[in-house]
Amino acid sequence: MDYDSFQRILDAHGISNEPAFKDLSVEIAPIPADENGKRALGLYFPEDKLIVIPPELSPNPGAIGESVELHELGHRFGHYHYNNLTEQFAEDYRQKYQGKLEYHFHENNVVT
């Protein structure tokens, strides 16, 4: 793990010794919109063991940033232990630590 915000989350939730996160890398980079103009809030690339978070959510601005980080960690955890990369698994993992949150999406893809 090479990103302080993620390490703080791992420490806060008591999961810093989880083997799935040992060789994980984190990159802060813009995430392009898809053909419909929507873009992901975070990405996990299993072949590279890499999570990408956009600059506007780094370093972890509030509950949304933490939600995105936990969700992407859920992808890694599911991939490592169960070969499960589904959105449902990642969201269940996030909810395990954060509970249910309400998101409000705006036209410019900003989440509040």
pLDDT at 62: 62
Q: How does pLDDT run along the chain (112 residues), one tens digit per residue?
A: 446 778 888 999 999 999 999 999 999 899 999 899 888 889 999 999 999 988 887 665 566 778 889 999 999 999 999 999 999 999 999 999 887 665 544 444 444 3
* pLDDT the model gives residue 39: 87
Is 110 among the domain residues?
A: no
Does 107 fall in a domain?
Answer: no
pLDDT value for 59 = 62
Whether 5 and 58 have beta carbons less than 8 Å apart is answered as: yes
Largest CA distance in the chain: 39
User: Does residue 19 lie within any of the structural domains?
Assistant: yes
Residue 109 domain flag: no
- Which of 17, 96, 77, 28 is closest to 57 using CA atoms? 28
Asked if residue 77 is part of any domain, the answer here is yes
Q: Which residue range(s) make up the domain with 73?
A: 4-98
CATH of the domain at 80: 3.30.2010.10
Is position 105 within any domain?
A: no
Cα 12 to chain centroid, rounded: 15
| Dist CA 44 CA 76 (whole Å) | 7
Q: According to the model, what pLDDT value does residue 73 have? A: 95
Q: How far apart are CA 75 and CA 1, in angstroms?
A: 15
The count of domains in the chain is: 1
Q: What is the DSSP string of 32-93?
A: ---TTS---S-EEEGGGTEEEE-GGGTT--HHHHHHHHHHHHHHHHHHHHH----HHHHHHH
Q: Is residue 40 part of a domain?
A: yes
